[in-house]
Amino acid sequence: MFSSAAIQEIEDIRAKYPNARAALLPAIYVAQREFGWLPPEAYEAVADLLNVPKATVRGVATFYAMYKQKPMGRHLIQLCTNVSCMILGAERLVDLLKSAYGVEPGGVSPDGRFSLVIMECIGACGTAPAMLVNDDFHENLTEKNLQEILEKYK
Amino acid sequence: MITVTINDKEIKLEKAVTVLEAARSAGITIPTLCYHEQLERYGGCRLCLVEVEKMPRLQTACTLMVADGMVVRTETEQIADVRRGILEFLLINHPLDCPYCDKAGECTLQDLVEKYGPGKGRFKEKKRKVPESLQDPVIVRNMERCIMCTRCVRMCEGPQGASAIAVINRGGHSHIEPFSGGRFDCEYCGNCVSVCPVGAIMSRLHRHSYRPWQVKEQYETVCPYCGVGCTVITQVRDDVIKRVIPKLGSSVNNGMLCSRGRFGYEFVGDNDRLTTPLIRKNGVLAEATWEEAITLVAKKLSEIKIASGSEAIAGIASPRCTNEDNYVFQKFMRAVIGSNNIDTTARTGYAGAQSFIENIFGQGATANIISGLANSDTVMVIGGDPTTVNPILGLQIRACARRGGNVLTIGDFAGLSKFSPKKLLPGKYTETILLEAIVTALREKKGLSGSNGPLESKIKDISVTAADAAAKCGVPEQQLSAFVDLLAGAATYSLVIGKEIVQSTGGSYKLLLLAAINYLANGRIYMLTEKANEQGALDMGCAPDLLPGYRPVAFPEFAKKYGAQWHAEISEKPGLNLFAMIDAAENGSLKAMYVMGENAVCNIPNSGRVEKALKNLDFLVVQDIFLTETAKLADVVLPALAWAEKGGTFTNMERRIQLVRKSVQREGLEDWKIIAEIAKNMGYGMEYVSSEGVFHEIAKVSPLYRDLTYEDIGKGENIYPYKGEPLRDVKEDIQVDTASAVASAGKLYLQIERPLFHSGTLSTRAASLRNIYPQAVARISSATAKALSLTEGDVVNVRTKAGSLSLFVAIDKDGDSSAVAISNNFERKGAFRLADYALDQVTKAPCIDAVEISIEKVTA
């Protein structure tokens, strides 16, 4: 179930739109944050709160790649491997993530701490390689500072 | 006037329609896949592209509105080329499994590819693979075949209003899924099956059992389940119903069906059907010949008539049988037996409530067109969920909500909850004061018009302030006044009354209050009816006090007139009603009973007592299609033909009379024919050649149907008052029963669950409906479950003063925490086994809302 803060947040979102369906995308995003991913209960919770059919909620969510359809680690690493990042060693960072934390692209580390998703360009080519951890942006990554940064995410 | 030219043909149109509709009206076919006349326009499949002069590109005919002077071409080389291209794209993923697919032969895609090509695809890539989903009991989903026209989704979200399915994923991976991904767990209306143009969503019932072209016969008939009387088409092969589909354009259901109508037909060919008469010999029912059985019945009834008098014999007619069956049966009771002891289970609610309403507003007050609900601006619902009792009527209320109408409910009805109803939720047994407050407030707002004296004199006596009501029933004053404002502001108001009001303590007083609201808001009344021909059975005179056409038997001139037509003397003494019959059987004054097409034990409250009473009879005849729990008690069981095996007429809740057509041939006798044979054996000639012959007599005898013929009925649209003469309105003083009940805190009460998937015990004989809803359960709220530490699936004993049952627990998270809801559909496990009752003094309906119930876990 949702926390009362999340319920309030979704109700605030709802108030900004002319109808409940229009509020689905941001509301599902709140649900994903609350549940970590989108299990059936998350859809049901959104459906109940917005009075939108649950099948419709699921249909909308599955259209978009950034809604997570399977369990995720506690923290989501989204690492770019496009041209600039690749040239500056992003692929070595992928290897490092695997050896240090046991997490492969698209997977979850065995301890459930990290999920890794390979991103297309996140617009940080000038400061490549770059990644997002949850909502935080990190740039000028090296094999050294990557682990330091990730230590902050337990 | 708009003039358009399509394929060089000039078409004149009154109003702007789409190019597609204009073409169709002129007999020009434009191919479509995503278009369906019942659904919102979509413009997704691109097959209806047409050339329009002065427009740069091809246009979709299904979305383009005609304009004056438009010149359209629908079949050119360019168009054919484009269509071929679109079909080639669709066939990238659509498997070429037509030889195996049930849809082949009526598949739009197959037909189009045959017409436009391509003969060969150019794509070398592999087709997508999605396993066929057989996880559901009645619907098969094969998503390889899906072409994403979204007709099913638009049907489910639109006309059906269930929103159980949606498009999942994106692009080439997209397909249609119910929320669970496997089982639909929906309303199982199957309307998605109707609209699927390919073999992606199909009925599981006839899977791989025939090809569409092997259906040699199909018959337009009436659904056997509820009082809506949907027009259905039965498709038959080798005297087996293969499929039941709705009729597009029918004025009752226009292409829509519910789960019972679509999937509930299998009872007809069930192996448990009775095939020969049975006679009790040495305590056991043994097979007998027709001759033995009929002679025995005639002999025993004659003996009892001589020994104990006509009034020692009673008959129960059937709201499942045709008008013809019921007419002949009541005539048999009156003219041959000589008694007015004839009634039906309509007495458990519908009959008394209808005559109560008609006594206030005049005959035919409840004969309103169902589709009118969708056009009402305000609909108020009380006493039952219309979307489960009369599902197709429920859809009209949903349609009203979708069109922006106000749906007001007193009570919480799950089937309407997604349609933003304005709800008033009075505490248990406090509906009366709430209704009184509504009447008071509405009277103050609207005033009295003076057109109905007796009712107004009652209305004047009612005075309850909103504050008073709020204190007693727990509905906030503000909510109440907003509710009344909507009623007062309604231009076209409709009131839907369910059986729970009629079967509640003080039911007739609540009906009076509802009538008052209806009068003040100037509306129409709809009464939910659970069985197909409840109305017809009443029209035919299957009532202890009324002859066919509602002529009171107590008026000597009517008894004489009918007697003269039937060549017999008709008793002027009203007979025993359903409940009095049971009393009389119990105390021994009733010696024999003839039950036609009714599972009396299950369908009369306090089943245990009914069972004992029937056992107490000297002679019981049961005529049915199954060996029901009632038939098992009989001395003689007579097998009848079922709904699809005979012709006749049904009269629905709108009082629309419709033809039931014979779809399959089966050896046996119609109900009316069996009775006619017995009458003949008792020395009374009943020489009917067919059901049409019976109807011919009905039209002569009953002033309600004067000069009506099967030919008229077959043309459709025969709505009350037909060509007949309703009886003049008799405005008697309005009597009411103001009994009331008080809820004790912490007590649980029996509630009758009226599930969408069952109707009477008949539907439990249909395998597919049983697969959806397999057994009786005790449905409790999560609060009750927590308090009693029960979990879903636990076995419990539920006990009332009348009896006890052992049932599985089902937990309903939004359920009423003072109720244990049990359905009355499963033999020996029905709620009526637990339901003791007192009769409402006016409507004579049983009040079964005050049955205390205890529930305890059975430990293994």
Tens-digit pLDDT profile for residues B310-328 = 999 999 999 999 999 999 9
Q: For B706-712, what is the mean pLDDT?
A: 90
Question: Given this model, what pLDDT does residue B859 score?
Answer: 78
Q: What are phi and psi of B201, to 5 degrees?
A: -125, 115
pLDDT at B791 over 70: yes
- pLDDT at residue B728 tops 70: no
For residue B783, count CB atoms less than 10 angstroms from its CB and return exposed for 0-12, middle for 13-18, buried for 19 or more: middle
Mean pLDDT over B122-143 rounds to 92
Claim to verify: residue A57 and residue A88 sit in the same structural domain: no
Q: Quick one: B284 and B379 in the same domain?
A: no
Q: pLDDT at position B557, please?
A: 93
At B707, the pLDDT band (50, 70, 90 cuts) reads confident
Domain end, chosen from A63, A85, A103, is at: A63
| B523 pLDDT higher than 70 | yes
HSE toward the beta carbon, residue A79, CA cutoff 13 A: 30
Contact B373, B400 (CB under 8 A): yes
Report how many domains make up chain A: 2
Question: Same domain, yes or no, for B55 and B157?
Answer: no
Contacts of A22 (CB under 8 A, 6+ apart): none
Residues in chain A whose Cβ is within 8 Å of chain B: 40, 43, 51, 53-56, 58-60, 62-64
Q: Are residues B550 and B645 in the same domain?
A: yes
Task: State the pLDDT confidence band at B815, using cuts at 50, 70 and 90.
Answer: confident
Query: B291 and B206 in one domain?
Result: no
Q: How high is the pLDDT of residue B656?
A: 94
My answer on whether B669 and B590 are in the same domain is: yes
Q: Contact B179/A51, CB-based, under 8 Å?
A: no
pLDDT band at B706 (very low <50, low <70, confident <90, very high): confident
DSSP secondary-structure letter at B70? -
- Cβ–Cβ < 8 Å for B192, B257: no
Amino acid at B276: T
Q: Which of A63, A88, A104 is where one domain is finished?
A: A63
Same domain, A89 and A143: yes
Q: Judge if B624 and B758 occupy the same domain.
A: no
For residue B725, pLDDT over 80 is answered with: no
> Nearest residue of A to residue B184 by CA position?
A55
Q: Are residues B247 and B287 in the same domain?
A: no
- Rounded Cα–Cα distance for residues B832 and B388 (Å): 19
Would you say residue A93 lies in a domain?
Answer: yes
Verify that B691 and B788 share a domain, yes or no.
Answer: no
User: Quick one: pLDDT at residue A17?
Assistant: 96
- Where chain A has pLDDT below 50, the residues are none
* Residue B580 reports pLDDT greater than 80: yes
Q: What is the pLDDT of residue B300?
A: 97
Q: Which chain A residue has the Cα nearest residue B186?
A: A55
Question: CA of A50: which chain B residue's CA is closest?
Answer: B418
Quick check: B727 pLDDT over 80? no
**Per-residue pLDDT, A65:** 87
pLDDT at B719 over 90: no
Residues B203 and B64 in one domain: no
Same domain, A99 and A46: no
Range of the domain at B411: 364-527
Q: Verify that B517 and B574 share a domain, yes or no.
A: no
ipTM exceeds 0.85, yes or no: yes
**CB contact residues (below 8 A), chain B span 165-194, against chain A:** 165-170, 177-180
Q: Do A43 and A82 sit in the same domain of this protein? A: no
Query: What average pLDDT does this structure show over B235-261?
Result: 94
Mutation target for B interface from A54, A68, A69: give the one with most B CBs within 10 A: A54
Total count of domains within chain B: 5
Q: Which of A40, A56, A64 sits opposite B166 (nearest CB)?
A: A56
The pLDDT of residue B745: 84
Is the Cβ pair B177, A55 closer than 8 Å?
yes
Structural domain of residue A81, as residue ranges? 75-151
Q: Cβ of B312 under 8 Å from any chain A Cβ?
A: no
Q: Do A49 and A114 belong to one domain?
A: no
Residues of chain B neighbouring A59 (CB-CB closer than 8 A): 166-168, 177
Residues of A in contact with B176 (CB under 8 A): none
> Is the residue at A69 inside a domain?
no
Q: Averaging pLDDT over each range in A73-77, B562-566, B811-815, which range is the top one?
A: B562-566
For helices B466-473 and B477-489, give the axis angle rounded to 10 degrees.
Answer: 120
Given a cut of 70, is residue B860 above it in pLDDT? no
In CATH, what number is assigned to the domain containing residue A15? 1.10.10
Which uninterrupted H or E stretch holds B496?
Answer: strand B493-497
Q: What digits encode the pLDDT tens for the residues B352-365?
A: 999 999 999 988 89
Confidence of residue B724 (pLDDT cuts 50, 70, 90): confident
Min Cα separation B245/chain A (Å): 26
Tell me the pLDDT band of B733, cut-offs 50, 70 and 90.
Answer: confident
Give the C-alpha separation, B447 to A12, whole Å: 43
Q: What is the average pLDDT value for chain B, to the nearest integer? A: 94
Do A136 and A81 sit in the same domain of this protein?
yes
Rounded distance, CA A66 to CA A44, Å?
19
pLDDT at B151: 97
* Interface probe with B: pick from A1, A51, A57, A63, most Cβ of B within 10 Å: A63
Residue of A nearest to B419 (CA): A51
Q: Which percentage of chain B shows pLDDT scores above 70?
A: 99
User: In Å, how far are B109, B167, B188, B189 from B194, measured between CA atoms?
Assistant: 15, 18, 12, 10
